[in-house]
Amino acid sequence: MDYPELIVERSDDIFILKINRPEALNALNIKVFDALEYFFTTYNNDLSVKGVVITGSGEKAFVAGADIKEFMDFDSSEGAKLSKRGQDIFFKIERFHAPVIAAVNGFALGGGCELAMACHLRIAGPAAKFGQPEVNLGLVPGYGGSQRLIQYIGKTKAMKMLLTGEMISAEQALQWGLVNEISEAGGEIDLSLSLLNKIKSKGPLAIKKTISLVNDFFDNTKNGFEEEYKDFGFTLGSSDAKEGSRAFIEKRKPLFKGI
């Protein structure tokens, strides 16, 4: 893929995606969205991919928001289309078959906080800051922030963040459940890769179905319990489950094949 706004590195079965607009604190623009859409569409069903890390270039920001200059003159119709496209791309990330981890190395504000929340897990550096400051511009979140923030930290805390536009620290984000772990300074990617290497040793079909089931909890069109018994039956009948059971009995590491 030829998108200078997104640096893509692959190490075996794990990708590292780096938003590459450090001069703009990695603000999301149309080209960044194009690159993210291309990647997560291209590899959506590629089971050889076991994990993805998303981070930002430079030391100051993961993603410090959306590029306001691109849409400040949009009318209501154009704004709704922009928001809908961003939501659709973030749904691709949220529904990706393999774990996607946000390695938050600085500011994750507005669209950056929304991008981090669309990932399955979040590792924050000690200097990370999170916020949805859209009200400061007379706006509301456009890429799912008003919905996912409630899912992670609850209505009361989310309402305050959304209404005040205030940022919270990495420590506060950890206490509130917005992030999973805090790394050492500069260690966000290493900790993310360590977590992905742990996860990829598990059954790949089970990982894929687990991601889907967790998403089903928030999907009003689905009955999560019904989806669970279906997916339990599906995984129980798989070769991976047979291998996992044999390996457990034989006290050895399983050799999963994803089938």
Active site residues: 114, 134
Among candidates 14, 7, 11, which has minimal Cα distance to 101? 14
Alpha-carbon gap, residue 123 to 102, rounded angstroms: 6
Alpha-carbon gap, residue 160 to 166, rounded angstroms: 8
DSSP annotation of 238: S
Alpha-carbon gap, residue 202 to 253, rounded angstroms: 10
The residues pairing with 43 across neighbouring beta strands, listed in sequence order, are: none
Structure token pair of residue 234: 């599906």
Q: Which contacts qualify for 144-153: CB closer than 8 Å, 24 or more apart? A: 144/86, 144/87, 144/90, 144/114, 144/117, 144/118, 145/110, 145/113, 145/114, 145/117, 148/114, 148/117, 148/118, 149/113, 149/117, 149/178, 151/218, 152/117, 152/176, 152/177, 152/178, 153/177, 153/178
